[in-house]
């Protein structure tokens, strides 16, 4: 494996932090301009931004290491959470129900989160690196936005369908897309807004 610098380790730590936040505090639902969204929408763009920065400077292999290692950590985190939610508490501890409500994500949603995260992140890296070759290293803004916007759509669709399709008669294909599209459009806005940070991040990581 290639040698990682302190900057690489910092970005990897930030990446893991973002992944954990998406899957913990991201469980809260808020209203954003009248649209029902998870607060994880504020952290997901950071994950795609980091792999774009790393992929541009370090290459595809290192960006894929970020995705691979974090996917393993996410799987372990979800498995450990599922185990301890079910462990019988001490009789004097009366917070089991709030604990279960906060951390007891259903197995279906856990699998949806894991699968959508892994697939969308790998696709983002592949699109980004592919466009870098096609543009001969130019137009960072193009590969940053095309990769992120496309993979965020895939992430949203996969998660919604695995987690909710046919959960009740209400969750039809049409209904799910009525939830997916406004949610994804917010992600598009965040992707466009993070473009300057992508340039800054690439410049920062390139300086050794």
pLDDT in tens, 69-87: 999 999 999 999 889 999 9
What stretch of H or E contains 31? Answer: strand 29-32
Return the exposure string of 51-67: e unless at least 16 CB atoms fall within 10 Å of the residue's CB, then b: bbbbbbbbebebbbbbb
Question: How many whole angstroms separate alpha carbon 183 and alpha carbon 153?
Answer: 9
* Adjacent-strand bridge partners of 164: none
The chain-wide mean pLDDT, for the chain, equals 92
Question: What is the mean predicted confidence (pLDDT) over 37-58?
Answer: 92
Q: Among 146, 150, 161, which Cα is nearest to 113's? A: 161
**CA 75 to each of CA 17, 20, 114: distance values in angstroms, whole numbers, following the listed order:** 15, 11, 7
Whether 144 and 137 have beta carbons less than 8 Å apart is answered as: no
Work out the pLDDT band at 161, boundaries 50, 70, 90: very high
Q: Specify the pTM.
A: 0.90
Question: What is the mean predicted confidence (pLDDT) over 74-103?
Answer: 91
């Amino acid at each position: 494996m290639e040698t990682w610098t302190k900057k690489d380790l910092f970005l990897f730590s930030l990446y893991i932090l973002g992944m954990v936040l998406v899957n913990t505090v991201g469980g809260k639902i808020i209203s954003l301009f009248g649209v029902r969204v998870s607060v994880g929408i504020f952290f997901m763009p950071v994950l795609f931004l980091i792999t774009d920065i790393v992929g541009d400077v370090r290459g595809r292999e290192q960006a894929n290491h970020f995705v691979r290692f974090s996917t393993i950590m996410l799987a372990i985190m979800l498995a450990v959470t599922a185990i301890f939610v079910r462990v019988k508490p001490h009789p004097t501890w009366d917070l089991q129900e709030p604990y279960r409500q906060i951390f007891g994500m259903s197995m279906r949603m856990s699998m949806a989160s894991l699968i959508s995260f892994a697939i969308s992140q790998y696709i983002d890296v592949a699109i980004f690196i592919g466009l870098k070759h096609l543009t001969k290293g130019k137009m960072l803004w193009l590969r940053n936005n095309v990769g992120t916007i496309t993979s965020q759509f895939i992430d949203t669709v996969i998660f919604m369908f695995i987690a909710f399709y046919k959960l009740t008669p209400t969750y039809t294909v049409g209904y799910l897309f009525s939830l997916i599209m406004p949610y994804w459009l917010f992600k598009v806005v965040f992707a466009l807004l993070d473009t300057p940070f992508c340039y800054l991040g690439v410049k920062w990581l390139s300086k050794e």
